[in-house]
Amino acid sequence: MANAKIIAVGLGELEVIADMYSQIYSPPQHEEFFRRRFEGREGQCLLIAMLDDRPVGFAFGYELKPTTFYCWLCGVIPDAQRMGVATQLMQALEAFAADHDFTAMRFECQNQHRAMLHLAITEGYDLIGIRWDPSSAANMAIFEKEMSIT
């Protein structure tokens, strides 16, 4: 397992995030795609994973409702996949959510993204629903995890 350095970043890093996103997902996206998504959102958290001073992954989310943090996107560039980086990113988002008094964390993923499905199960998320996403023409599995607040 890689030991990525997870750093919190701001909207000024959207160019780096857009570059990584475009290496992972299709179609490629530009900074404005991400900027629009975060406009007016409360409780934002943007994280980048670094290996050997190189950005290799990202995860970010925001408040879905007062008690639920929503992980909107998580991705790891191809040559850093299967090293545990996504798990580290999700755990860092969970820590952010717990530190900010959210009681649950939610995310969605397509059935084709088997690694994220596996991560959800391994990290203790419950499958709470399925919805149709017309933009990707695919079903989205909805996962949620209750946060343990101590």
Instruction: Please name the amino acid found at residue 91.
Output: Q
| SS3 label, residue 60 | strand
Q: Which residues of the chain have pLDDT under 50?
A: none
Rounded Cα distance between 78 and 137, Å, is: 24
**What pLDDT score was predicted for residue 149?**
56
Token duo for residue 39? 């406009």
What span, in angstroms and rounded, lies between the C-alpha atoms of 11 and 35?
Answer: 7
Residue 52: CB atoms within 10 Å: 8
Query: What amino acid occupies position 36?
Result: R
**In whole angstroms, what is the distance from residue 36 CA to residue 21 CA?**
15
Give the HSE-up count for residue 100: Cα atoms under 13 Å, Cβ half-sphere: 21
pLDDT at position 135: 83
Position 124 scores a pLDDT of 95
Residue pointed to by tokens 């084709």: 112
CATH code assigned to 5-146: 3.40.630.30
Quote the radius of gyration of the chain (alpha carbons, Å): 15
